[in-house]
Structure 1
């Protein structure tokens, strides 16, 4: 186990965004090769152009099959999946062609993970609008990967060393959140989160907190009845299933307590409820990881950053953290830790 270095497939993301740059910066760190064997899935021409911009001295090695990879520090093994014309493609100017390419990278990595050709996949940022313009009607990576893996129930977790949050609802207007919540969806989020904390993070007896939806967690129904009618029944059901679960807690205090070690994760009712405190703490090193799917997937927690794309100054911190977390999860899964039934 000490010498186990999982193969991590890293998708290059939107070729017009900062994905190619942060890949070069991240894989210039030799220590990452001690943790894993990174394999880039992308476009050799685009990465070569990014290399000139960043001034990177790392060697690029294009391959046509993952079996050809050598995984040596100082060399990037790149599975060349597209051949974009950079006379027509430029930084911060995505096209239908770049949209199709970035989706092809994700589809390829997902298939490789399902076939155990890679141990985990890490995704660089994509443009959701361009993804849809290219003919892929998904809200993002997660929904595409869930469909490709045949997964109905999945959870978006944002994870860092100090704080981990899971979301019951993800991308939707705030006015729709209350109607979208149900006891079953909250219970499913708790269950998937608890099992992942054990199996993928190696926490044998995780403590999970649940945030309320309303101010003061409803104040006994004064500020809303979702806590009494929906959230508390989900918590009670989770407790009967053997999870160490507490709440619902006022959202303005629960994250402080989690940061101080009282809880291993917080289950949040909606996107910004969890993402605002998370990014206050883990803005440069936060990781998005998808739970509930049969493969390991981590991702950077930022977008394509077109405003700085092609300028050689993108921060690779989140990608470095995502690669490390993917390797860590692969090692935990290899150990086979399961929840006591």
Structure 2
């Protein structure tokens, strides 16, 4: 029997609680455990007039068949929907730690994360906090992870993530790019059952450098790495100009795209499937999926939050856990 999936409810003042509450109706009987403040979730369900039955759960308990299992993680302070409070930051990190430990110990088959606010965590608990992905990597002693977002027919991974554009070129080195591509290729085989993944690699510069006239990163860094990895057996195309890569001719012939930076690849993916896309962290020793959006404090408690991305992330996590 596959262990359940942990679903963290994110910042308690954001739309995370709203979203996870919908799982009781959208995924009834699914092997899920929601981590969050039980009282906050119950209050939010009442505020939203949701018929969501919540049952407290702790390790060792059987999963309920007719209720949403809630592993109570105290918020640490009173919570008002739409009003972020740094006093809840320590509780949010403790909730995340429980999910990580559960995955590392085999209690959970993977985890799905609802959105949290980096600024709230930095102000209230950890000034060095840079995001879910980096925190998961540090806690699991994983030296490098890869961010990939996916819709039903498009997968886009990133060579660099949350960096100022000025810093991107310096962050793209031969060793880092090679390791990123190896992780991407390995997890596409391991998690997505693709025997020989076909990966399209974008150039950094306009027109992929135009033979050195618009930049030398393609010639000096990207192309040598691709040649090295092709010799190892990886199926790689590129470097290709980003402005023509996202066309049917190329996409139909590849299983994933590696973009060099955040806003090179993700605008295309989110245009294609915003609200239904899933954020997947590759390279971790456990499955982790997440939503493709933020905390949306202005929508918390209003009933207007779109739960499509959380449902997609949950379904994908369960599918990956089942092999």
Alignment TM class, shorter chain as reference? over 0.9
Instruction: Report the counterpart of residue 208 of structure 2 in structure 1.
Output: 217
List per-residue Cα deviations over 1:206-246 (Å, max 9, x = no partner): 10000011111111111111100011011112112211111
1:88-237 superposed matches below 5 A: 89-136=79-126, 137-237=128-228
Instruction: Name the counterpart of 2:273.
Output: 282
Give, in angstroms, the shift of residue 258 of structure 1.
7.4
Matched, 1:46 2:40: yes
Indicate conservation of the 8 Å contact 1:38/1:71, yes or no.
Answer: no
What is the alpha-carbon root mean square deviation over aligned residues? Answer: 1.5
Instruction: Provide TM-score, normalisation by structure 2.
Output: 0.96
Separation of aligned partners in 2, 1:293 and 1:104: 19
Residue 24 to residue 281, structure 1, CA distance change in 2 (3 Å): same
CA distance in 2, matches of 1:303, 1:323: 16
List alignment gaps of at least 5 residues for structure 2: none
Alignment correspondent of 1:70? 63
1:186 and 1:85 map into 2 onto residues whose CA distance is 43
Aligned counterparts of 1:14 and 1:264: Cα–Cα separation in 2: 34
3-state secondary structure, aligned to 1:27: helix
Report the TM-score, using the length of structure 1 for normalisation: 0.91
Aligned to 2:283: 292
Instruction: Give, in angstroms, the shift of residue 26 of structure 1.
Output: 3.0
- Secondary structure at the aligned position of 1:284 is classed as coil
* Equivalent-residue separation in structure 2 for 1:214 and 1:260 (angstroms): 20
Give secondary structure in 1 for the equivalent of 2:183: helix
Deviations 1:276-307 (A, max 9, x none): 10101110111111111101111111100011
Measured at CA, do residues 237 and 257 of structure 1 come closer, stay the same or move farther in structure 2, by a change above 3 Å?
Answer: farther
Alignment of 1:3-42 (within 5 A): 6-30=3-27, 33=29, 36-42=30-36
Change in Cα spacing, 1:258 to 1:113, as seen in structure 2 (3 Å) is farther
What is the CA–CA distance in structure 1 between the aligned matches of 2:201 and 2:293, rounded to whole Å? 25
After the TM superposition, which segments of 4 or more aligned residues of structure 1 sit over 2 Å from their partners? 83-86, 257-260
CA–CA distance in structure 2, aligned partners of residues 68 and 19 of structure 1? 24
Structure 1: 5+ residue runs without aligned partners? 333-341
Residues 164-193 of structure 1: CA deviation (Å, up to 9, x unaligned): 111111011101111111111111111100
After TM superposition, the structure 1 stretch with the greater mean CA deviation from structure 2, 177-186 or 255-264, is 255-264
User: Secondary structure of 1:223's match?
Assistant: coil
Q: 1:202 to 1:6 in 2, by over 3 A?
A: farther
Match of 1:271 in 2: 262
Paired with 2:176 and 2:138, the residues of 1 have a C-alpha distance of: 18
Q: Distance in 2 between matches of 1:294 and 1:5?
A: 16
Count residues in correspondence: 322
**1:193/1:257 CA distance change after superposition, 3 Å:** farther
